[in-house]
């Protein structure tokens, strides 16, 4: 039986990157946590660390939210066992690929996680949120939501959905206790691969880079103040303003120049890795023949 006086913040994609930073920030604010991520991402270790460090209640669940039944089962488990007053829809995937070269499973997983999981989970958790005296929904979108981006194609389209869905839901819930916010971050230093890719960009792009911790601190602070649209960092706010000013065709032209180059570098890197793996795989056979 859940305790209605013990409230929890639910965070998806909580095992690493921005999701982990959200968990750390919320734990530092003494919020009890429900964390969910894919299996085998050491989520239980993070939970134990947050419990010990911040003396809060933390519960974890590992599941694949690209599966519809997993979203429903997780939402039922969460609402049956915990009183929830904050939902942070952080889980999402993206990347830079030529569309025709993309695996269909990769594209489908991006759509299911970035759009369907976020939508269904919000719908299933919302009745629980409305029971609380005050509650919050924070959906993680991106600056990419404001423009088409060649060589990313699906990702900005999914983030545009997140942005517009959130703004529409905010209007529907304006007379309730539920405050709805959307976060539109720019480049994030989430891991070594992303860091390497971002460092290959122009000096102007590098000015927009923020760490997950910086973004999480700003996002949670503004969410609690009821801010509707959260764009962390001066350069990212400037970029969002600039994007709206320039014609779409110019934005697409600039995006093509930037991400076509990135896509080409990625293909060369992957080709080099594959050759290295093939060479390593052949070596044992060569030694066997020699012996």
| pLDDT tens for the chain, residues 1 to 291 | 788 889 999 999 999 999 999 999 999 999 999 999 999 999 999 999 999 999 999 999 999 999 999 999 999 999 999 999 999 999 999 988 888 999 999 999 999 999 999 999 999 999 999 999 999 999 999 999 998 888 888 999 999 999 999 999 999 999 999 999 999 999 887 655 555 555 555 555 667 789 999 999 999 999 999 999 999 999 989 988 888 888 777 677 676 676 666 656 555 444 444 444 444 444 444 333 332
Gap between the Cα atoms of 44 and 50, Å rounded: 10
82, two tokens: 């915990």
**Maximum Cα–Cα distance for the chain, whole Å?**
79
- CA 174 from chain centre, in angstroms, equals 25
CB neighbour list of residue 100: distance below 8 Å, 6 or more residues apart: none
Residue 281 domain-assigned (yes or no): no
Q: Are 239 and 204 in contact (CB under 8 A)?
A: no
What CATH number corresponds to the domain at position 78?
3.40.50.720
Element (H, E) at 34: strand 32-37
pLDDT of residue 148: 84
Q: Is residue 287 part of a domain?
A: no
* Amino acid 74: pLDDT: 98
Q: Is residue 284 part of a domain?
A: no
Which value, to the nearest 10 degrees, does the dihedral of the CA atoms of residues 172, 175, 178, 184 take?
Answer: 50
Distance, in Å, from the CA atom of 211 to the CA atom of 186, rounded to the nearest integer, reads 10
Spatial distance between the Cα atoms of 232 and 50, rounded to a whole number of angstroms: 25
Q: How many C-beta atoms surround the C-beta of residue 105 within 10 A?
A: 9
Whether residue 94 contacts residue 110, with contact meaning beta carbons closer than 8 Å, is answered with yes
Number of domains in the chain: 1
Residue 248 token pair: 């779409």
Does 146 map to a domain? yes
Question: What confidence score (pLDDT) does residue 208 get?
Answer: 73
The residue assigned the tokens 């924070």 is 138
Q: Which residues contact 255 (CB under 8 A, 6 or more apart)?
A: 147, 148, 149, 150, 151, 152
Q: Output the CA–CA distances (angstroms, integers) from residue 288 to 279, 282, 285, in the order listed.
A: 15, 10, 5
pTM: 0.84
The secondary structure element, H or E, covering residue 58 is: strand 58-62
For residue 44, being part of any structural domain is answered with: yes
Q: Is 106 helix (H, G, I), strand (E, B) or coil?
A: helix
In a domain, 178, yes or no: yes
Does the residue 282 lie in any domain? no
264 phi/psi in degrees, rounded to 5: -65, -45
Give Cα separations from 61 to 11, 36, 89, 120, 123 (angstroms): 11, 5, 15, 17, 19
* Residue 22 near residue 217 (C-beta atoms within 8 A): no
Whether 12 maps to a domain, the answer reads: yes
Q: For residue 126, what are the domain limits?
A: 7-274
């Amino acid at each position: 039986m859940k305790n209605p006086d013990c409230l929890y913040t639910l965070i998806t994609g909580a095992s690493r990157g921005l999701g982990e930073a959200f968990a750390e920030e919320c734990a530092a604010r003494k919020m009890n946590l429900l964390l969910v991520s894919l299996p085998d991402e050491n989520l239980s270790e993070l939970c134990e660390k947050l419990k010990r460090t911040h003396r809060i209640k933390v519960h974890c669940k590992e599941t694949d939210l690209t599966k519809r039944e997993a979203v429903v089962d997780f939402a039922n488990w969460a609402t049956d066992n915990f009183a929830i007053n904050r939902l942070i829809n952080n889980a999402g995937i993206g990347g830079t690929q030529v569309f025709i070269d993309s695996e269909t499973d990769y594209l489908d997983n991006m759509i299911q996680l970035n759009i369907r999981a976020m939508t269904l989970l919000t719908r299933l958790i919302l009745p629980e949120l409305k029971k609380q005296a005050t509650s919050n929904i924070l959906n993680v979108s991106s600056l990419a939501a404001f423009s088409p981006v060649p060589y990313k194609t699906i990702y900005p389209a999914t983030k545009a959905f997140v942005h517009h869905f959130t703004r529409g839901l905010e209007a529907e819930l304006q007379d309730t206790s539920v405050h709805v916010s959307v976060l539109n971050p720019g480049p994030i230093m989430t891991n070594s691969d992303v860091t390497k890719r971002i460092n290959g960009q122009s000096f102007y792009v590098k000015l927009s880079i923020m760490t997950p911790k910086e973004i999480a601190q700003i996002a949670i602070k503004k969410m609690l103040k009821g801010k509707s649209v959260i764009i962390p960092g001066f350069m990212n706010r400037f970029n969002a303003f600039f994007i709206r000013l320039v014609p779409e065709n110019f934005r697409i032209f600039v995006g093509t120049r930037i991400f076509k180059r990135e896509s080409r570098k990625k293909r060369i890197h992957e080709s080099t890795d594959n050759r290295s793996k093939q060479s390593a795989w052949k070596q044992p056979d060569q030694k066997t023949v020699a012996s």
